[in-house]
Amino acid sequence: MTTRPAPVTTHAEPVMGTVFSFTAVPGSVPPATVRAALATACRILHRCDTVFSTWDPASPVSRFRRGEAPPGAMPPEFAEVVRECQAAKAISGGWFDPWAMPGGFDPTGLVKGWAAERALAELRAAGLAGGLVNGGGDVAVFGSPPDGDRWRLGIQHPWRADALACVVEVDAAVATSGPYERGAHLIDPATGLPACRAASATVTGPSLALADALATALAVGGDEALAVLAGVAGYAGYLIRPDGTETDTGGIAFVH
Amino acid sequence: MKRAGWYVIAGAAAGFAGVVGLHGSGQAAPVALGQQRPAAARGAASPAAPAPARTAGPAARAGGSGAVRRATGAVEQYGYGELSVTVTVHGSQITDVSVPLLRTAEPYSQQLAQQVIPMLKSEVLAVHSARINGVSGATYTSAAYAQSIQSALDKLRA
């Protein structure tokens, strides 16, 4: 049986120093409702950017890093992100540690995934049949894609811009970290110095905030972090080492 | 370190088409294929080759319904150097991904020159048979997005 692809709305929003791409599968939801949900989702992203930008010296997180704002004076989102960061630090065995970053507390490795997830929740709440948000390479989905049963994501090839390392199927979240786009931004919490034991590190799981943090941990910690990840229920990791060899924890639905 | 400047490489996509691979079913497989393999076998791009755009073949062969459409991102600098990516879809199926222009900066170009780019056993290049809804990768900047496969997908579906 063949079914016609559902009409799909896409939107690309420049925010947080990258671009967030949305795919909205409306189902029976009218176009105006889809547009309104996308607009709300984008407002959430810009709000997160305003609060958590470490590039903007006037942002609340920048003031906090300089010791100019006590935790009690921070916006409500801040406490939630701190809690997520504490959980991610513990779950990653310390490979993800926003408190060990140069310049003070830096939740950047988690915030993008967290923000994307909050944005996507607006599409889900509006009753759409399916949705995807891609926050600069970190992806969250729900429901059904327009063209199949499960969402399929290519994993960017670390050395070839036009290639994929593989294709995976996901039901919730996939995040990838690596040094190939922005150089040595990955910091080893143990030393505070740039360190990277992966060419590419991908994590799948139910939460994009945690998957984002764990992908950072996997990029920094390599095989040691992968061993930690293997014990985290619901999450799975796929590691391409700097020499091009590959390994994974099992549990990732590879298509190719 | 000495700056070698830009190399123009091309014909890459055509060479990669031969290495569409299989991923073991979720099993750890720490096997190094790449570094032992001669450059010719993996179709490694040659520095300073001309830059032909690849278009027809796969799209013409692909099944599925709907019009064949292509979108190419603008040329700008980013982590890999300078490039633009063209994605072709036939209906809802991606039938081709090609790079009409790619100039790489160090150290990537040095790797090319030394022919030590590892080849992944699971490499998917032209994605002939794959439908994908997006691409997960290390965070690109706003400028780099314009050259990404995700950007081309967004254009095609807008």
* Inter-chain Cβ pairs, chain A and chain B, closer than 8 A: 222
3-class secondary-structure state, position B93: strand
Q: Which pLDDT belongs to residue B75?
A: 56
Out of A15-19, B107-111, B117-121, pick the least confident: B107-111
3-class secondary-structure state, position A244: coil
pTM of the model: 0.72
Higher per-residue confidence, B97 vs A68: A68
Residue A84 to residue B41: CA distance in whole angstroms: 47
Domain presence at residue B124: yes
pLDDT exceeds 90 at position B52: no
Q: In sequence order, what are the residues at sequence separation of 6 or more whose Cβ sits closer than 8 angstroms to the Cβ of residue A43?
A: none
**By the CB < 8 Å criterion, does A212 face chain B?**
no
Phi and psi at A217, nearest 5°, equal -60, -40
* The total number of structural domains that make up chain B: 1
Q: Which pLDDT belongs to residue A72?
A: 86
Mean pLDDT of B131-141: 85
Residue A212 to residue A231: CA distance in whole angstroms: 17
Contact A159 B118 (CB under 8 A): yes
Q: Which pLDDT belongs to residue B92?
A: 66
Place of tokens 């088409």: B17
Closest Cα in chain B to A219: B138
Contact B135 A154 (CB under 8 A): yes
Say if CB A57 and CB A159 are below 8 A apart: no
Phi and psi at A234, nearest 5°, equal 90, -10
Contact A153 B136 (CB under 8 A): yes
B62 to each of A4, A144, A150, B57, how far by Cα in Å? 18, 24, 22, 9
Report which DSSP code applies to A9.
E
Q: Which pLDDT belongs to residue B94?
A: 66
Residue A130 pairs in a beta bridge with: A25, A143
Instruction: Provide the domain limits for residue B26.
Output: 7-157
Place of tokens 């490694």: B44
pLDDT exceeds 90 at position B40: no
Confidence of residue B106 (pLDDT cuts 50, 70, 90): very low
Residues of chain A with confidence (pLDDT) below 50: 5
- Tell me how long chain B is: 158
Sign for the pseudo-dihedral over CA of A156, A157, A159, A161:
negative
Phi and psi at A44, nearest 5°, equal -60, -45
Q: In sequence order, what are the residues at sequence separation of 6 or more whose Cβ sits closer than 8 angstroms to the Cβ of residue B39?
A: B115
Q: Which pLDDT belongs to residue B142?
A: 75
Q: Which pLDDT belongs to residue B112?
A: 44
Partners of residue A164 in chain B, C-beta under 8 Å:
123-125, 127, 130, 132, 135, 149
Place of tokens 């056993």: B121
What's the gap in Å between the CA of A71 and the closest CA on chain B? 28
Q: Which pLDDT belongs to residue B66?
A: 61
Domain extent listing, chain A: 9-254
Find, among B47, B19, B79, the residue nearest to A158 by Cα: B79
Q: Which pLDDT belongs to residue B118?
A: 56
Contact B137 A155 (CB under 8 A): yes
Q: Which pLDDT belongs to residue B47?
A: 32
Closest Cα in chain A to B92: A147
Q: Of chain A residues 142-171, which have a CB less than 8 A from chain B?
A: 145-148, 151-167
Domain presence at residue B1: no
Q: In sequence order, what are the residues at sequence separation of 6 or more whose Cβ sits closer than 8 angstroms to the Cβ of residue A245?
A: B30, B31, B32, B118
Topology classification of domain A9-254: T-fold (3.10.520)
Contact B124 A167 (CB under 8 A): yes
Q: What is the ipTM of this complex?
A: 0.91
Out of B46-50, B116-120, B135-139, pick the least confident: B46-50
- Residue type at A125? A
Confidence of residue B131 (pLDDT cuts 50, 70, 90): confident
Best of B82, B106, B133 to mutate (most A CBs within 10 Å, chain A): B133
Contact A247 B29 (CB under 8 A): yes
Residue B84 to residue B72: CA distance in whole angstroms: 7
